[in-house]
Amino acid sequence: MAEQLWAPWRFDYVKKADETNRDGCIFVDLPAQDNDEENLILFRGKTAFIILNRYPYTSGHLMVAPYKHTADISDLSDIELLEIHQLVRDSMKWIKAVYHPNGFNVGLNVGAAGGAGIPSHLHWHIVPRWEGDTNFMTSIGNTRVIPEDLAISYRRLKEASRV
């Protein structure tokens, strides 16, 4: 018999993501709005931005995405690629200051076959990791437990970005 883990607060997030993905691309639509805190955008650069993942693997899971809507890395200029990597570096710095992880997973999933949840728009994941952070919920239940509310994560990382 399957076990159930109730997380009713997630419904609003899932519903919003479903509506956004059906109507457009979150990496285009959200930066076009003037509501960074609600949209979890931590930093806006000239060619790319940093956003807190609304469906994180761990607390502090960030993403860096170019403003340019593309699924092909060869569409990005050297300037865009440089800024993206600088923002990945800055993201790791802020996460270290706030969460003190033992390591990171940093990656780019290209295309649906490559594991991209939004295959039409390149985005880099920065995921903090801790020794022993895989527990029975992850190993047996195939479930992640995120101990911190997204609004709190946003405020803590936003503050770290100002230092």
Active site residues: 123
Q: Please state, as a whole number, how many other Cβ atoms lie within 10 Å of the Cβ of residue 20.
A: 15
Q: Rounded to an integer, what distance in angstroms lies between the CA atom of residue 116 and that of residue 123?
A: 9
The overall longest dimension of the chain from CA atoms, in Å, is 53
Nearest Cα to 116, choosing from 154, 79, 72? Answer: 72
- Measured between alpha carbons, how far is 52 from 64 in angstroms, rounded to an integer? 9
**Which among 33, 58, 57 is positioned nearest to 49, based on CA atoms?**
33
Q: Where on the phi/psi map is residue 107: left (φ > 0), alpha (ψ -120 to 50), or beta?
A: beta
